[in-house]
Structures are given as structure tokens and as C-alpha cells.
Amino acid sequence: MAIGEFVYRRRVQYKETDASGIVHFSMFFVFAEEAEHAMWRDVGLSVEPHAAEIGWPRVSASFDFLRALRFEDEIEVRLRVIGKTAKTFRYQAIIVHNGRYAAAGTMTTICVSKRPDQPLRAIAIPREIADRFAIVEPLEIPGRPGTDSRAATLDPLIPGP
């Protein structure tokens, strides 16, 4: 049985904020990665089992930031598998707080062989891994392409999910 979406919940920790009082933008990528790893555990896998010979570096990652997150906010990362090739997975990650979108992004990982003293080399995703994940449609994020409208305010009335 394959999984195509997963919800990961956690709380914003103090170390994740910065001097502007909100979560540092680089942390959204960490949240997305944590959700990915939790999704893998949910199907009985680890992205990096002990002494693994394969790994999953990122090929690309992006986020649009819609609302600020603050210390102790309880957030959801809604992760979806939106693409799969012979060697890569593509995820959509939507971060939700209080029923409203805080950020939406994508992340592509690539399967590599890691051997001591050798450079990382892309390889085909082992079938027992590929079979656990099913592709689903990405969610449409209202106003997401509208950088212009977002430029008007950081607290837009985007209806939550």
C-alpha cells in the first residue's frame, strides 16, 4: 500500500526564531524535511537507516512565505508526493497555522549512492522504496502566484484549508 500525503504536527521552538521575533525563513525547509522523514517512518522506512549506502540529498527546494510563525505556535506540515521519476521524488509542503496557510513550497530529492571516498552518484530508486509512495495532485494555494497581492500585506485574508 502506498502513501501520497501525510500531516506532521509540531510546535515552533525558541531556537527557531530570530531577532525579528518570528521563525527564521530557513527553518521552513527544516520543517518540510522533518515531515518527509516522518512520512517515511509512517510507511516503515527511514531515509537513512544505520550504515545506509544510499542517501537523499535535495536537488531543489523553494518556499513562498505567506504569514509569520512565532514561538510556541502549533503548526501542521501537509506533505504531498507530487512527482516521482526513476531517481527523484518531488514533494509539496504546505505549512498551516491556526487553519491558515503560513507557507507553501516544494522540494525535490534524489537517490544517491554513498560510498566512503567516492562522490555522491545518482542511482535508481530501489523498487521497495518507490512502491511505498503514490503521486497525488498538489494543492492549489489561493493567492500563491500573486506575489503582487502578497506584496500588499503579509497578513492577507487567504481562507485557510
Binding mask 85-114 for a second copy (x = CB under 8 A): xxxx-------------------x-x-x-x
Strand, helix or coil for residue 114: coil
Instruction: Kindly compute the dihedral angle of the four CA atoms of residues 31, 124, 81, 142, in this order, to the nearest 10 degrees.
Output: 80
- Residues 127-146 touching a second copy, rule: CB under 8 A, are none
Applying CB under 8 A, among 61, 130, 135, 139 the residue interacting with a second copy is 61
CB 94 within 8 A of CB 136: no
Give the DSSP letter string of 26-57: HHHHHHHHHHHHHHHHHTT--SS-TT-SEE--
Applying CB under 8 A, among 3, 5, 71, 138 the residue interacting with a second copy is 71
Which residues are at the interface with a second copy (CB under 8 A)? 13-15, 17-22, 24-27, 29-30, 33-34, 37, 41, 46-48, 50-51, 55, 57-65, 68, 70-72, 85-88, 108, 110, 112, 114, 116-117, 119-122, 147, 150-155
